[in-house]
Amino acid sequence: MDITQEEYRVAKQSGRTIHTKINILNFDFQMVDEISGVVLEGSTYSIDATSDIRRTCNISLIPIDSSFDIEFGSKLWMDKYVQVFIGIEDSKNNNEVVYSNIGLYLINNPSQVYDATNNTITISGIDLMAKMTGMRNGYLEGITYQVLYGTGIKQAMTALVKDECGFKYFSIDQPNPTILAPYDMSWGLGSTAYNILSQLRDINAGYQTYFDQDGIFWFNQIPSGANEQVRVDDDIWEKVLISYKKDADYESVKNYIEVFGKTQDDGHTPYGVAYENNPESPFYVGENMENRIRIVLSGGEYDNIYPLEDYSVNVNEFNSLAQQRANYELYLRCRLQDQIELTCVPVYWLDVNWLVNITLPNKQSPNVQKEQYIIKKINTTLGVNGTQSITMMKYYPLYPST
């Protein structure tokens, strides 16, 4: 997401006049209509990097005429998308409204309340992944769907997204190293495109599938923060931060990970181990592993982990995918647990998986340090008194040197 200078500037204004704009699009992404300035207080939107459906919203609005009634053929029927923009008047530029795109959604579960004093429509919005999960289509045509042994993951995903699901706009990366289907993979009657998508994705530990704010499908590596641009600094936080809190879910923390892949015909099993070896981490295993909290992962989805080489030829390559998965599981079960939650005046152009710098104020400790975090969840309430909750994980290198 590219942020304009105007968007950045108005986010720092001490006073705000808020505007809303909703574009209504058909399934060919052609604009059908626009609703401006009638979104009610208390509407919300969320972005969650850990969820299959990353972007959701709940918008209440006042319809401008009967063409917005909830009925077949209306502008808010199930065959439409809505793209929502929130704007702030720019006090340094003749109060021109500067809009930020907060997402493109399928209309889900609309309701209309009409009485003598009001006529209000409320719609839940879900991003386009719902067209793969079975929530709004996504079930496979025919009895079975196959990805044959040796098929490249990029090739298989492109065929699924473009040909099976009919999406025109997508960006599918080539994993490095190139990953192939480990065996003839088959999905039966009742499976969804997302069943296939997630199984192909999970062969490559640390990769993600999602739709962005413009309805474009992406398959790429989850940003780890290493060598990445810092997207937000104290220049913003000092203007918008209201409060913060830190929580620790000790039950979810595992700082020593062992992963076993699928046992091969010769009896050898791909194996990987990763542990928190950073002394600066609150979950450091210790000099002699005295703080170790171990978990062993095998079977089920871990049977998708296969060797890249024959065991007798190259042990490291044989275990490569298992080691990659162990590193990623450490990221999820240990490093992702070191989190903070900010409450802010909303910054509408924020997105998840961004690396940010922040100096957290602390009256009891004046010698605070600037730290780096990665945004994982954003929940925003719209309106004059709206606030934004931002969950961020402390930045550590994704891959440990174990």
pLDDT reported for residue 399:
47
For 380, residues 6+ apart whose C-beta sits below 8 A from its C-beta are: 44, 45, 46, 102, 346, 348, 386, 387, 388, 389
Residue-wise pLDDT for 21-69, tens only, equals 889 898 889 998 888 766 777 889 999 998 989 999 998 877 666 666 6
pLDDT bucket at 6, cuts 50 / 70 / 90: very high
Hey, what are 256's tokens?
A: 């020593």
Q: What is the pLDDT of residue 181?
A: 83
Give the model confidence (pLDDT) of 73-115 as tens digits.
676 777 889 899 999 999 999 999 999 999 999 988 766 565 5
C-beta atoms surrounding 117 within 10 Å? 5
Instruction: Give per-residue pLDDT as tens, 303-337.
Output: 878 887 777 778 888 888 899 899 889 888 887 77
Average pLDDT estimate for 243-272: 89
Question: What percentage of the chain reaches a pLDDT higher than 70?
Answer: 90
Q: What is the pLDDT of residue 246?
A: 83
Residue range 270-308, pLDDT digits in tens: 999 999 988 878 889 998 899 999 999 999 889 878 887
What per-residue confidence (pLDDT) applies to 366? Answer: 66
Phi, psi of 219 (to 5 degrees): -130, 115
Question: pLDDT grade, residue 394 (50/70/90)?
Answer: confident
Task: Report residue 7 as tokens.
Answer: 């968007």
Cα separation, 103 vs 199, whole angstroms: 26
- pLDDT for 188 equals 87
Mean pLDDT of 163-185: 86
Which pLDDT score, from 0 to 100, does residue 402 have?
41
Spatial contact of 370 and 388, defined as CB atoms under 8 Å apart: no
Question: Tokens for 53?
Answer: 């459906």
Mean pLDDT of 149-154: 90
Average pLDDT over residues 191-209: 88
pLDDT band at 258 (very low <50, low <70, confident <90, very high): very high
Distance, in Å, from the CA atom of 299 to the CA atom of 388, rounded to the nearest integer, reads 40
Among the residue ranges 92-106, 110-124, 368-382, the one predicted with the least confidence is 110-124
Radius of gyration of the chain (CA): 24
pLDDT of residue 136: 79
Residue 138: strand, helix, or coil: coil
Taking the C-alpha atoms of residue 49 and residue 53, their distance in angstroms, rounded to an integer, is 9
Query: If you average pLDDT over residues 161-184, what whole number do you get?
Result: 87
Higher-confidence position of 395 and 127: 127
| pLDDT value at 401 more than 70 | no
Between 16 and 401, residue with greater pLDDT: 16
Predicted pLDDT at 205 = 77
Q: What is the mean pLDDT of residues 241-259?
A: 88
The per-residue pLDDT for range 210-230, each reduced to its tens digit, is: 999 999 999 998 887 778 899
Q: What is the mean pLDDT of residues 377-384?
A: 91
Tokens of 5: 């200078």
3-state secondary structure 297-364: ECCHHHHHCCCCCCCCCCHHHHCHHHHHHHHHHHHHHCHHHCEEEEEECCCCCCCCCCEEEEECCCCC
